[in-house]
Structure 1
Amino acid sequence: MSGNDSAADVRTLVVDDEQEVADAYALRLRSYCDVETVYTGEAALSAVADTTVDIVLLDRHMPGMSGDDVLSELVERGYYGRVVMVTAVDPGIDVLDMPFDDYLCKPVDREDVRAVIDQQRRILAYETLGEYFSVEAKRTVLEAELDEKKHRQHERFVAVAERAEQLETRARRLMADDDILDRFEGINREEM
């Protein structure tokens, strides 16, 4: 998505037990973002475990594992992405305790589902960018100050370096304007 303002590289998972509904949302998103569709909560958890999913559009009322159960499991597993409940279940006071990022009541038209994807993409991009800046600043300063052999053999340093690389890749994919990443990399963090 470098240099443009679209959601083309956003990886979206549509989860709804009503196949026709899930497929309709996926069709609305197909030319807009990278979209996958599953029809059960269990399949949703497998999809998130198998690949990077940026945004989950999740139905609340499903047989077997409900959307609420999927949401809880995603939190427990440390899912790093955004969850939008897209459901016919009228929200009650219980939603105050639920860790979702947005809530859309069905039916949702094409423009609204695309708008929520773009909004959540932007939020996730900036969250990822913030984490990347923090991790990369630590990596850069340690790399500049420590002997190369010492930091390359240190398990925690290697883990931080790998995390920085993952975050940078994801931020560049999600950001409409990745110039901010280039400006960050241009800052000298070494001793003068």
Structure 2
Amino acid sequence: MPGDQETTVLVVDDEEKLANMFTLWLRADYDVRTVYEGEAFLAEVDEDVDVVLLDRRMPGYSGDDVLEMLERREADPAVIVVTAIDPELDVLEMPFDDYLVKPVQHEELVDAIELQMRAREHDADLQRFLRLETKRRVLLAEHREMALSGEAEWESLVEEYDELKDRLQRTVDDFESVLEAYRSSHRGRA
């Protein structure tokens, strides 16, 4: 069941038709704001924004630039990258919560938003784990694990992932259900 009008979603994409379509899909269930460039994002994002749907490839400030600028602001929304860019190792350094490769469907956006809102109800360790799970998932979908083995950034991710998973299995009562919800919302997607 989708969220409520109290959840504010900010759509940031330079493809106006696509951004408007996302807005139409989501506005019945969320308070949706839409901007078409990174610079406008900076004026629009505030403490009221719960989730940002962010394209990576935009003129002016790219989505990657926006992510860097967002880290320096007090607003702390969940960031779902929605892009046509296939993930490379550079995603390991990027501060996002989820990564969807276009094209995406209405249900995928709602599932991703709802999962982020659910994750925000938990502590920072679970939120960090889900970020690592996302990066792990998108990289494994794009690259063979053998190709990633030996890459220092990948090895670091795997080590932190395993440590957090072990700790969360012992300390979070509904960890397995949160993880299953996350994984089921991403089945069949890169």
Q: TM-score, normalised by structure 2?
A: 0.62
Map of 1:79 onto structure 2: 75
Map of 1:47 onto structure 2: 44
* Counterpart among 44, 50, 56 of residue 52 in structure 2: 56
Matched, 1:96 2:98: no
Superposition pairs of residues 100-119 of structure 1, within 5 angstroms: 100-119=96-115
For 1:91 and 1:32, the matched residues in 2 are separated by 29
> 1:158-186 CA distances to partner (integer Å, 9 max, x unpaired)?
xxxxxxxxxxxxxxxxxxxxxxxxxxxxx
For 2:2 and 2:56, the matched residues in 1 are separated by 28
User: How far off is 1:125 after superposition?
Assistant: 3.1
- 25-34 or 61-70, larger mean C-alpha shift: 25-34
Identity of aligned residues (%): 50
Map of 2:10 onto structure 1: 13
Q: How many residues align?
A: 124
Quick check: which has more Rg, 1 or 2?
Answer: 1
**What one-letter code is carried by the residue in structure 2 that aligns with 1:76?**
R
> 1:67-91 CA distances to partner (integer Å, 9 max, x unpaired)?
0000000011133120010000111
For 2:26 and 2:122, the matched residues in 1 are separated by 22
Map of 2:32 onto structure 1: 35
Q: SS state of the match for residue 86, structure 2?
A: coil
User: How far off is 1:6 after superposition?
Assistant: 4.0
Q: Is the 8 A contact 2:2 2:110 kept in 1?
A: no
**What one-letter code is carried by the residue in structure 2 that aligns with 1:28?**
W
Q: SS state of the match for residue 126, structure 1?
A: coil
Compute the RMSD of aligned alpha carbons: 1.8
**What one-letter code is carried by the residue in structure 1 that aligns with 2:37?**
T
> 1:24-46 CA distances to partner (integer Å, 9 max, x unpaired)?
11111111211111001011111
For 1:78 and 1:59, the matched residues in 2 are separated by 21
Q: SS state of the match for residue 65, structure 1?
A: coil
**What one-letter code is carried by the residue in structure 1 that aligns with 2:94?**
M
> 1:115-148 CA distances to partner (integer Å, 9 max, x unpaired)?
00100111123359xxxxxxxxxxxxxxxxxxxx
Q: Is the 8 A contact 1:32 1:114 kept in 2?
A: no
Q: 1:11 to 1:77 in 2, by over 3 A?
A: same
